[in-house]
Each structure stands twice: as structure tokens, then as C-alpha cells.
Amino acid sequence: MLQARESSLIPRRSAESLLTQARKSSHRSKILDLKAKIQSEKYFVCPETTPLFYTSLYTDLPREIQLRYNQLTAMANNEITAYFESSLINILSAIQNKYSLDPHLNQYLDYFCEEERDHIQMWLELNAHCWPEVYQEQSAKFVKQPRWTQPLLRWSSTKKSLWPLLLWIMILQEERSVDVAVRSLRMEPEQLEPQFRKVYQHHSADELGHIHADWHLIEMIYSKLSALKKKLYARTFRWAVKEFLITPARLGVEVIKSLIQEFPDLRTQYSLIKEEYSRLDENSDYQEMMYSRSNHPITFQLFDSIKEFHCMESILLHYRVGREE
């Protein structure tokens, strides 16, 4: 049943409170215990957050393959999160240079960037600890990009005209990473690998502050835009989410290719998996896991508050303006 949500609006945290919190937690000890052996018989992430779980093949796969798929997906998640975080640092630094921000927010963004630098190092160290043969040679196995994309991305993150779009992608990804962590932390201790438990706890605590800072920035930037520009950004964002962020894109396919290298009998299922992946945007359970009001409460509340973004209803099965299902 649909219900009005006005009474349950989430209050945005002030920049001052974000700053106070960040100062308190800024002197932290190392999160990972690199002396502890990775427990490879355990899951690295909650299986219900992984795309293959939503295909017709998953339940019939042997437990050994399910487990390895889960571990490869978690390492791919670590890579893509580190990649987003490095883009985010570039954007935030550029915003700090271009805008005259509230002093508390400006100081908080310094902590925000510092925390993201720590996270990037943490994800890369964790992957190297899990799979040294692969990650001592390279920082990314699954995130494949031509060499020229890095300078292009660095350049684009400094383009003021792209920030209104990129900030939405950032808040969407940050709420998603918190949800993946929260779901994984709900797993029984004997199911989830202990080093992953530690990083999920640590990361989600920092990300909650980041999401509120993204919220400040989105509101600040959108309050200055004309209705026409807001509409343009909303349509472009809707297109980007549909094309790249709902169904498992290249990253998900790279994980499957890697799984097939370890389990060659799976090769016969490759086309079917790709086909099912391309149709996951029509799968209500999958979409609910990816993007719903329970796992993206602030993003959805922001969609509600900027009417041009009500168009997200047309691609997100679980977004309805101002309401929850």
C-alpha cells in the first residue's frame, strides 16, 4: 500500500555537526589486519547484493562456484568503489576551488577527501591481501579502461557544467555502498570474512557523513539553476542510470569471465548469463535491492524535492514520488 511520507522526512545534518564528527574520528588506527589470513571458505559480501543471485541459474550452481563468484564480485566492488572515490576527490577539490562554500562545509570536505584517500588504500590493500598473485601486479583486474580515460576523467571532473550530474551519481553510489555494507554486516559471523566485516563497518560509518555532504552540495548547486537546466540534468542523469547503473554493465561481465576461467564448465552458460543480466532492469526484486527508498532514502528524498527528478519514476521500478511502497 502506498503511504504519504511527509511525516518521515530525514533531516539533513548541519555542516558543523559533520565537521565535529569528522574531527573526532580523524585519528584512527589501521583497519585491516594484514597478518590475519583471509578466510577463503567465507563470503566476502552479502550474496543478495550480487546480480547473479537474481538469475535463473544461481540456485543450481554448486556452492563452491557461488562462493567464488561472491568473492570475485566483492573484489570487483572494491575496485569500482576505489575508482569512484578517486573521481570524487577530484570533483570535491574542484568545487572547493570554484565556490565560496560555508566554512564548516569547506573544512568538512577536506576530511571527506582525506577519508576517501584512506578508503582507496584500504580497498586496494584488501584486494592485494585476498588475491596477491593478481593485485600485486595491478590495482584493477575488473575495471578495464583504456589508458587515455584517466586524464579525460580528471579533466571532466574539473568541468563545472558536469558537477550537477556527477554529484547525483556520487550520492547514488555512496548510498549503495552503505547498503551493501549494512546487508553484509547482518550476516552471521561464520558466514562473512572477518576482514571484510571490518572494512564494511569502517567504511559505512564514514559514508553516512559523505552522503549528507553530497546532499548539501546538490541543494546548493540546484538552487542556482534554471528550471530548464534542472530538466536537462535530470534527463541526462536518468539516461546515465538506465544505461550504466541498473543492470550489471561491463564490470559484472568481467567477473563472469574470470569465474569461467576458474570453472571452465560454466562457459556454456555465458550467453545465458549475459542475456539475463541485460533484462535485470525488469526484475522487481533486483531493482528493489539496487534502488529503493529503504536503501537510498536520501537520494529518493532529493528526487522528491526537485520536481524535475520525478522523471526517475519511469526507470526505477521502486521510486514513486513522495511515497513508499
User: For the packed helices 163-185 and 297-305, what is the interaxial angle rounded to 10 degrees?
Assistant: 150
Stretch of residues binding Fe ion (CB under 5 A), selected from 101-109, 116-124, 154-162, 218-226 = 116-124
Smaller CB separation from Fe ion, 85 or 276: 85
In the complex, the smallest distance separating the C-beta of residue 264 from Fe ion, rounded to whole angstroms, is 36
- Is-contact 281 287, C-beta < 8 A? yes
Tell me the residue type at 11. P
Q: Which residues pair with 3 in a beta bridge?
A: 324
What are phi and psi for residue 58, nearest 5 degrees?
Answer: -55, -50
Stretch of residues binding Fe ion (CB under 5 A), selected from 42-50, 84-92, 151-159, 294-302 = 84-92
Stretch of residues binding Fe ion (CB under 5 A), selected from 121-129, 210-218, 242-250, 266-274 = 210-218
In the complex, the smallest distance separating the C-beta of residue 299 from Fe ion, rounded to whole angstroms, is 14
In the complex, the smallest distance separating the C-beta of residue 213 from Fe ion, rounded to whole angstroms, is 9
Residue 272: Cβ within 10 Å count: 12
Instruction: Name which of residues 150 to 179 contact Fe ion (CB under 5 A).
Output: 174
Residue 216 sits in the site that holds Fe ion (CB under 5 A): no
Of 42, 119, 141, 238, the one binding Fe ion by CB under 5 A:
119
Residue 210 sits in the site that holds Fe ion (CB under 5 A): yes
Specify burial of residue 239 (Cβ count, 10 A radius: 0-12, 13-18, 19+): exposed
Smaller CB separation from Fe ion, 116 or 276: 116
The C-alpha atoms of residue 115 and residue 31 are separated, in whole angstroms, by 12
Residue 293 sits in the site that holds Fe ion (CB under 5 A): no
- Cα dihedral value 114, 119, 121, 125, nearest 10: 160
The residues that touch Fe ion, with contacts defined as CB under 5 A, are 85, 119, 174, 207, 210
